[in-house]
Chain A
Amino acid sequence: QSVLTQPPSVSGAPGQRVTISCTGSSTNIGAGYDVHWYQQPPGTAPKLLIYVNNNRPSGVPDRFSGSKSGTSASLAISGLQAEDEADYYCQSYDRSLGGSVFGTGTKVTVL
């Protein structure tokens, strides 16, 4: 039931920069609702990575950054490290649903 679309996978060599897109619509991101990002390493629970578009919780490296424009948002990971291998999900509020929507998820692979 995801209404936020992400690429299934992205990959990069250590030290490179990768970006993950999150495309929504006029009822969620385009309506002005904020976007948040979660990191989920294999076999673990999701962890908040970016909140309210571009804010990092305490302890999250500044290699991770978020942005939002129009009906889309992006997560950038610079200086890619092996420990960044995980699934990443965007999330927002959707007014037609009356609640939260998650992205389809993106698997990041470090080559």
Chain B
Amino acid sequence: QLQLQESGPGLVKPSETLSLTCTVSGDSIRNKNYYWGWIRQPPGKGLEWIGTIYYSGSTYYNPSFKSRVTKSVDTSKNQFSLKLSTVTAADTAVYYCARQSVSSTYWFFDPWGRGTLVTVSS
């Protein structure tokens, strides 16, 4: 059964870099049929796509984050990671990782990790 688990610090100071890792079990991150995505949800608000990565290293970013975000894949550990620099209180959110199905007409996310709350505060 495929499972994804986010991990990282729950508290980050303003202007610092937020770093999260998603560990995949039950499937190989090298599976050529899937991509791997990050989505966030500020408290009480909706979902926002951050970015997507393929095992080869190809990346796709939401332009809203493009200048601040870096994604990477570690196939040896079956993990992919997210780094978001220069964070502010507006980056406080639950961060989810998810497996992503992609074709010429669709992108969708299934399954999702349980999410991890990251609070930006001094």
* A contact residues vs B (CB 8 Å cutoff): 1-2, 32-34, 36, 38, 44-48, 51-52, 57, 89, 91-93, 97-105
Contacts and interface: CB of A to CB of B under 8 A. Distances in A.
Nearest to B63: A97
A17 B62 CA distance: 36
Interface size class of B (residues with CB under 8 A): 20 to 34
Contact of B63 (A32, A98, A104, A105): A98
A32 B106 CA distance: 9
B111 A1 contact: no
A107 B39 CA distance: 19
B27 interface: no
Contacts of A33: 105-106
A105 B44 CA distance: 11
Contacts of B111: 47-48
Q: When A and B form their complex, which 5 residue pairs have the shortest distance between CB atoms, in order from nearest?
A: A48-B110, A34-B106, A100-B49, A36-B108, A102-B47
Given A34-B106, A46-B112, A93-B106, 15 more contacts: A1-B62, A36-B108, A38-B109, A45-B96, A45-B112, A45-B114, A45-B115, A47-B111, A48-B109, A48-B110, A51-B108, A57-B110, A92-B106, A99-B49, A102-B48
